[in-house]
Amino acid sequence: MDNGVRTTSFMASLEEGLCQELAALAQRCIAGFSDDRPVNASLVRSRLTNALTGAPPVLAVARDGQEVMIGWCAVRRPEPGETGARVWGPVVAPSARRTGLGTRLLQMVVDAVQGPLVTTDVPADRDGADAFFTGAGWQVLDTITVLHGVPTRGGFDVVTGDEEAMELAAYVAAAARRHGPHEASFAEVTLRRWQDDARFRPGNLLLDTRTGSLLLALAQRSTAGSELLLAEVWAAEAEVRRRLITAAHTAAARQRLGTVRAVTRQDPADFVACGMRPTGRCRTFTLPGAR
């Protein structure tokens, strides 16, 4: 395609203005799909920056003749526990779809990165998404359930990262090894990775100290709405998992958040038992034979 469209690929310095542009286009493109969520500049920066090294992503951007961003695709370098570098996008404005722009942006970042590549979650209800990736030679790696719940008052109270007197980093590392389960190098830096996420608040790190379990929830707001994302639930016992999930709904109500969302690769029964309902399925894709 041409029509005055200019594409560039670079190691992005994620300045506020650029993050706001990326977030605004992403918000437009997910509206109405099962992964619809509040997207803001802080979320974009958190998701695209390597939490351990601070390295910025490889970013491909497309602008029209008026220098308006109409598409982007990014790759975040792999972090401990990840099987490959994480591809975000391509994100293409509705007016520029079916022009080959998405394929062009994806290929630009693939060509710029060595090693295995894995996509972020791609909703199954997004028209043409499966065909887009499989047509480009990608294969389905995993299937994920998306659930939504309503914040509720009067649930169980639990200890939080704000209140816990013990050494929090050691607690989180032990939980990562015991319940993750994750290798030692991942476990030791887990809390630091979470703290580098702009959405992290100690009060939304819910702990069950009797079993050494935890639930990490991330609050985010934008002009499109607000949510508490249940990002990690590390507990061996169903009773403990459900207690933590219920406590997260109480935390969401206290913070006046609009919804609770969970994304899980495991059996969603514990979330459903706590009143959450499946709203969609997502897939991740991998590119076999990536350099």
Question: Is residue 132 in some structural domain?
Answer: yes
Specify whether 70 is located in the same domain as 130: yes
Question: Is residue 277 in some structural domain?
Answer: no
Q: What is the dihedral of CA 78, 81, 83, 85, to 10 degrees?
A: -10
Tokens of 283: 């897939």
Specify whether 23 is located in the same domain as 54: yes
Question: Is residue 273 in some structural domain?
Answer: no
Instruction: Quote the pLDDT of residue 224.
Output: 78
Question: Is residue 16 in some structural domain?
Answer: yes
| Token pair 């080959």: residue | 100
Instruction: Quote the pLDDT of residue 12.
Output: 61
Tokens of 106: 């994806």
Question: Is residue 195 in some structural domain?
Answer: yes
Specify whether 23 is located in the same domain as 127: yes
Specify whether 130 is located in the same domain as 85: yes
**Of 121, 143, 165, which residue constitutes the final position of a domain?**
143
Question: Is residue 274 in some structural domain?
Answer: no
Specify whether 41 is located in the same domain as 134: yes
Instruction: Quote the pLDDT of residue 209.
Output: 93
Specify whether 58 is located in the same domain as 133: yes
CATH number at 77 reads 3.40.630.30
**Of 101, 126, 143, which residue constitutes the final position of a domain?**
143
Question: Is residue 288 in some structural domain?
Answer: no
Instruction: Quote the pLDDT of residue 127.
Output: 78
Which CA distances in Å does 216 have to 97, 152, 205, 256, 291? 36, 18, 5, 18, 34
**Of 89, 109, 143, which residue constitutes the final position of a domain?**
143
Specify whether 33 is located in the same domain as 50: yes
b/e for 202-213, b at 16 or more Cβ within 10 A?
eebbbbbeebbb
Specify whether 22 is located in the same domain as 110: yes
What is the rounded distance in angstroms from the CA atom of residue 110 to the CA atom of residue 133? 13
Question: Is residue 243 in some structural domain?
Answer: yes
What is the rounded distance in angstroms from the CA atom of residue 106 to the CA atom of residue 241? 38
Which residues form the domain of 246? Answer: 152-257
Determine the Cα angle at 195 with ends 243 and 265, to 5°: 50
Specify whether 52 is located in the same domain as 171: no
Specify whether 111 is located in the same domain as 175: no
Specify whether 41 is located in the same domain as 128: yes
pTM of the model: 0.80
Total domains present in the chain: 2
Amino acid (one-letter) located at 171: Y
Q: Per-residue confidence of the chain (291 residues) as pLDDT tens digits?
A: 455 666 676 666 788 999 999 999 999 988 877 777 888 888 898 888 887 777 889 999 999 888 899 999 999 988 766 778 999 999 999 889 889 999 999 999 999 888 889 998 888 888 788 899 999 999 999 999 999 999 998 877 789 988 765 699 999 999 999 998 788 888 888 898 888 787 899 999 999 999 999 999 999 888 878 999 999 999 999 999 999 999 999 999 999 999 999 999 889 999 999 999 999 899 999 988 665
Specify whether 132 is located in the same domain as 27: yes
